[in-house]
């Protein structure tokens, strides 16, 4: 008959521990299951169902994600490994909950349940874990195909940019050749705008300095300054 144990804690993370009892009376840590957040609490479980069950180690995926996001996807199931123990023998067993809060006490709960009422869930777990194992093999094959296609895509993307640049260069050369068919002389542009402005300013200055030329009219003699001789013996 199988059973499963669960530990619950309200802190950020916890771990469910299982200890083997040594002959001298001491305890030896045999299993450790890290928690995952489920709603408002974190929980960790150990399942002893009489057949191999699996645990998912998230640290493997976290290390791969830090190096390459693609590798993180393909290595997502690498941490899916079988548990060391499949059943518990009759006797006394020691479990504990380990929390990460060292400054204040926290509350936790440990549940131990028999799997007899969970026969359907037991078979469902066996089936879905078998599918996960199959998917892990498929994922490994898919990674090889993906890497090959990704390499081809990178090469095609680089060639696309090169071909685009080559077309632009050829069209530019064609336009330059078309522009060379012309009988009109090329327009000479002044090298400096300031030089043109200074010349105009100089011309304007010369115009301002020149005084308008007028012809001097001959002065007319006033009639009243003319000396006339009058013969007084002759009557008017």
**Mean pLDDT, residues 56-71 taken together:** 71
Predicted TM-score (pTM) of the model is 0.60
- Closest residue by Cα to residue 5 from 35, 38, 37, 40: 35
pLDDT-wise least confident of 26-30, 76-80, 189-193: 189-193
Q: Supply φ then ψ for residue 145, to 5 degrees.
A: -65, -40
pLDDT of residue 4: 60
**Mean pLDDT, residues 90-106 taken together:** 78
pLDDT of residue 1: 44
pLDDT-wise least confident of 4-13, 37-46, 72-81, 168-177: 4-13
The arrangement of strands across the sheet holding 14-21 comes to 27-34, 14-21, 94-99
pLDDT-wise least confident of 14-23, 36-45, 78-87, 130-139: 36-45
């Amino acid at each position: 008959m199988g059973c499963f144990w669960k530990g619950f804690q309200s802190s950020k993370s916890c771990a469910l521990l299982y200890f083997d009892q040594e002959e001298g009376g001491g305890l030896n840590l045999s299993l450790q299951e890290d928690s995952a957040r489920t709603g408002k609490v974190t929980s960790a479980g150990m399942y002893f169902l009489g057949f191999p069950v699996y645990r998912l180690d998230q640290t493997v995926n976290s290390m791969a994600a830090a190096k390459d996001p693609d590798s993180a996807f393909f290595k997502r199931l690498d941490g899916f490994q079988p548990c060391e123990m499949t059943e518990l023998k009759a006797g006394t067993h020691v479990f504990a909950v380990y929390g990460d809060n060292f400054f204040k006490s926290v509350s936790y709960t440990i549940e131990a349940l028999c799997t007899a009422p969970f026969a359907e869930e037991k078979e469902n777990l066996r089936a879905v874990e078998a599918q996960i194992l199959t998917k892990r093999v498929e994922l490994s094959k898919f990674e090889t195909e993906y890497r090959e296609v990704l390499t081809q895509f990178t090469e095609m993307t680089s060639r696309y940019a090169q071909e685009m640049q080559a077309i632009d260069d050829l069209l530019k050369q064609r336009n330059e050749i078309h522009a060379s068919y012309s009988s009109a002389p090329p327009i000479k542009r002044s090298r400096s705008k300031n030089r043109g402005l200074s010349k105009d300013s100089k011309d304007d200055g010369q115009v301002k300095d020149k005084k308008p030329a007028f012809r001097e009219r001959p002065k007319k003699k006033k009639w009243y300054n003319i000396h006339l001789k009058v013969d007084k013996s002759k009557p008017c």
